[in-house]
Amino acid sequence: MNKTLYLTTPIYYINGSPHLGHAYTSIIADVIARAHRLFGKDVFFLTGTDEHGQKIVEAAQKSGSPLAHFIDARAQEFKEMNTLLNISNSNFIRTSSDLHKKVVTEIITSIYSNGDIYAGTYRGLYCVGCEAYYSKDDLIDGNRCPTHQQEVRELEEDTYFFKLGKYQDKLLEYYEKNPNFILPQTRFSEIYNRVKAGLDDLSITRTSFDWGVRFPFDHKHVLYVWVDALCNYISGLDGIKTSTFARFWPPDVQIIGKDISWFHTVIWPALLLSAGISLPKQVLIHGWWTVEGDKMSKTLGNVIDPFEMSREYGSDVFRFYLMYNAHMGSDSNFSLAELKQQNNAVLANNIGNLVSRVVTLLNQYCNGTIPMITEFDPEEKKFIEIIKDNKKYVDEISSYTIRNALFDVIEKFAELNKYITDRKPWDDFKHSNKSRGEKTLAMICESIRFLSLQLDPFIPIKAQEIRKSLGTMNINLDFDFKYSAGSKVLAEKRILFAKLE
Ligand SMILES: [Zn+2]
C-alpha cells in the first residue's frame, strides 16, 4: 500500500476575494487529506495563490493600492479562509515568492534544453479574465469568452512556443494506460477526444506586460501565467532536488474545477513529459455551484461568501452542506433553505439527538458511565457487524467519491436511531432488565465513537464534540468496546447542532 498521499488544490487567482467555488475545492481536498491521515497515510496537502499576470496588475490599479500591498492582502484573505474553514493544508505556496520563481526557471530551462521551445509570432483572441487565448469556435458568437461573457481582445505579439503538438502521442498513450487519470469518467473522454483531434503548439511567453516570471532566455518576455502557475505543484514541495519532492512526487490527486481541466490534463502533463518529470496519477474534476438556481455572479449580487457562511452557521455546517450536495461530475445548486433543512434533519435530528438521548439515558440509569459488556447474543452480534463494516466508506474515500462516503456514515447513524427505538432500553431499565438496557447503550456508544471518526474529515470540530459528549476521546479506527466502556459522559445535556430557522 502507498504510504504517502500528495494532493493539491489549484492555486487561487487573487484578482478577487475567496468565494463559494474556492471554499468548495478546498473542502473537497481537506476531506480527502483528513481521511487519509486517519487511515495512517503521510499526507502532503498543497494549496496557495496565483499572483502573476495582467489581470492582477489591473485589479491592483483598480483598487488603488500598490501591487505589493494588493497581493499580500489578497493572499492573506485566502489564508484566513483556510483558517476559518479548518483547512488542514501542509503548505501554502505563493507564485510571487522567490522560491517559486526559481523553480519555474529551472523547469523552463529543462524544457528549453530539451529543444521544446522556439521563437515565433502569435496572433489570437485573448480573454484577459482567463489569461488565455481562444479559438473562434470556443467563443460565444465568435467574440465573447464562455466563462466571462466579456469580449476577447485580438492580440499579436512576439512569443516563444512550447512544442505541445510533439506530445500528442505520449499524452494519448498515458491516458490509455491510466484510464483513471481523469475523474469522473465523462470528463476523460472529452479530453481524450480533443487531444486525439490534434494539438497546436502553445504560446508560453508575453511581452505586453511584465508582472510575472522572466523567460530566462529572452528577458523581454515573461512566462505565460498558466505555465508559471502550474509549476507551483513542484515549488510547493520546495523544488525538484529536495527531500520533500523525493518523498511526495508525483501528486496522487489534483483537485480542480472543470474550467481549468485542459491546463491540468493536457498542458501540465506535456510540460512535465518535456522536463523529464513523472506525471500526476489523477486529476479530479468537479463542477460548479449555482446559487438558488442562478449562476453565481457579482452582477447578480448572489456571491456566497464563505466567511459569512462560517460565521453565521459554523464552518462544520457549511462544510457538511457542501459535501452532502457535491455532485462531483455535474453542477450543484446552493440553497440556504436546503442548508437549514439538511442541518436540522441530518445533523440535529439524526446525529445530535441520538447523542443527547444516549447521554441522558446513561446519566439517568448508569451513573453517567458507559457500561462494559463482553457477551452478546447472535442478533446483537449481527447488528455490531453492520456498524463495524466500514469497507464501503474506505472504498468511497479512496476512489474520491466522498459524497457517497458521507452518505454511508449518515445511513449508519439512521441504523443506530432505528436500533435504539426498536430496543427501547428505557423500558428495560424500568422493568428490571438492566443488563439488556446496558448492552443497548454500550453498543450505541461504541458505534457513535466509531462513526464519529468517519465524520471527522467532514465536520472535524463537531465530530470531536460528539466524542467529548461521550467522554471518550479515543481515536482508534477499530470497533472495540474497550475504547468507550468506562467513559464518563457529560453530566449536562449539550446541544451539538442547533436547529436553524
Ligand atoms: Zn474569460
Question: Separation of 140 CA from ligand 1 center, angstroms?
Answer: 11
Digit-coded pLDDT (tens) for 100-109: 999 999 999 9
Q: Is 431 a catalytic residue?
A: no
Q: Is the pLDDT of residue 418 over 90?
A: yes
Q: Rounded to whole angstroms, how far apart are CA atoms 4 and 289?
A: 31
On average, the pLDDT of the chain sits at 95
User: Environment class of residue 411 by beta-carbon count within 10 Å: exposed (0-12), middle (13-18) or buried (19+)?
Assistant: exposed
Domains of the chain, each with CATH number or no CATH:
4-311 (3.40.50.620), 336-483 (1.10.730.10)
- Contact (CB, 8 A) for 291 and 304: yes
Q: Which residues contact residue 379 at a Cβ distance below 8 angstroms, ignoring those fewer than 6 apart?
A: none
Question: Which amino acid makes up residue 274?
Answer: S
Sheet-wide strand order for 294-295 = 294-295, 289-291, 332-334
> What is the grid cell recorded at 355?
447523542
Catalytic pick among 69, 102, 148, 431: 148
Q: Is 219 a catalytic residue?
A: no
Nearest Cα to Cα of residue 56 among 170, 190, 211:
211
Digit-coded pLDDT (tens) for 65-124: 999 999 999 999 999 999 999 999 999 999 999 999 999 999 999 999 999 999 999 888
Q: Is 19 a catalytic residue?
A: yes
Question: Separation of 142 CA from ligand 1 center, angstroms?
Answer: 13
Catalytic pick among 145, 231, 366, 445: 145
Q: Is the pLDDT of residue 131 over 80?
A: no
C-alpha separations of 499 from 152, 189, 334, 451 in Å: 48, 44, 19, 22
Q: What average pLDDT does this structure show over 153-170? A: 94
Question: Which amino acid makes up residue 163?
Answer: K
Digit-coded pLDDT (tens) for 253-307: 999 999 999 999 999 999 999 999 999 999 999 999 999 888 888 778 888 999 9
Question: Separation of 75 CA from ligand 1 center, angstroms?
Answer: 22
Q: Is the pLDDT of residue 326 over 90?
A: no
Q: Is 366 a catalytic residue?
A: no
Three-state secondary structure call for residue 42: strand
Question: Separation of 302 CA from ligand 1 center, angstroms?
Answer: 20
Digit-coded pLDDT (tens) for 203-242: 999 988 899 999 999 999 999 999 999 999 999 999 999 9
Q: What average pLDDT does this structure show over 10-30? A: 96
Neighbours of ion ligand 1 (CB under 5 A): 127, 129-130, 145, 147-148
